[in-house]
């Protein structure tokens, strides 16, 4: 359970920082104290269901980063890739997409042969 709280806290903090939001700003939007948010980010408090929903909405936090954190790279890294792709021309995006699909196919084939 502590590992889950730590994963949640890291996901919330990472998403908040990527949104260029302070703890005070996010806490105000969620109608909670900054201290309560800090305790969630540091894995000392677990949020209620309602607060968790608010965090997901406010931060546009992928739920997979909360429930399947062991399979997810840092949210900031994903945002950086998406941001870079937005600056590319369509031909470059298609090349990247093809490369990514080929890489995932190779991974699947390797796992299937084990």
Q: Give 31-69 pLDDT, tens digit per residue.
A: 999 999 999 999 999 999 999 999 999 998 877 767 766
| pLDDT higher than 60, residue 71 | no
87 in the same domain as 65 = no
pLDDT mean across residues, the chain? 86
For 52, residues 6+ apart whose C-beta sits below 8 A from its C-beta are 66
Over 70: is that where the pLDDT of 107 sits?
yes
Which of these three, 38, 53, 72, is where a domain ends?
72
Task: Indicate whether 23 and 68 sit together in one domain.
Answer: yes
Q: Are residues 58 and 88 in the same domain?
A: no
The whole domain housing 96 covers 74-114
113 vs 94, more confident:
94
Q: Is 28 exposed, middle or buried (0-12, 13-18, 19+ CB in 10 A)?
A: middle
Query: Is the domain of 58 the same as that of 94?
Result: no
The total number of structural domains that make up the chain: 2
Specify the higher pLDDT residue, 83 or 33: 33
Q: pTM of the entire structure?
A: 0.60
Q: Identify the pLDDT of residue 44.
A: 92
Q: Quick one: 93 and 114 in the same domain?
A: yes
Whether residues 14 and 26 share a domain: the answer is yes
**For position 66, which CATH number holds?**
1.10.260.40
């Amino acid at each position: 359970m502590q590992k889950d709280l730590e994963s949640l806290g890291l996901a919330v903090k990472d998403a908040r920082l990527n949104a260029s939001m302070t703890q005070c700003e996010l806490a105000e939007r969620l109608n909670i104290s900054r201290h309560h948010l800090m305790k969630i980010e540091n894995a000392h408090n677990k949020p209620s269901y309602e607060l968790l929903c608010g965090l997901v909405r406010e931060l546009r936090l992928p739920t997979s980063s909360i429930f399947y954190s062991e399979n997810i790279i840092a949210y900031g890294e994903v945002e950086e890739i998406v941001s870079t792709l937005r600056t590319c021309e369509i031909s470059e995006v298609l090349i990247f997409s093809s490369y990514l699909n080929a890489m995932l196919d190779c991974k699947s084939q390797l796992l299937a042969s084990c």
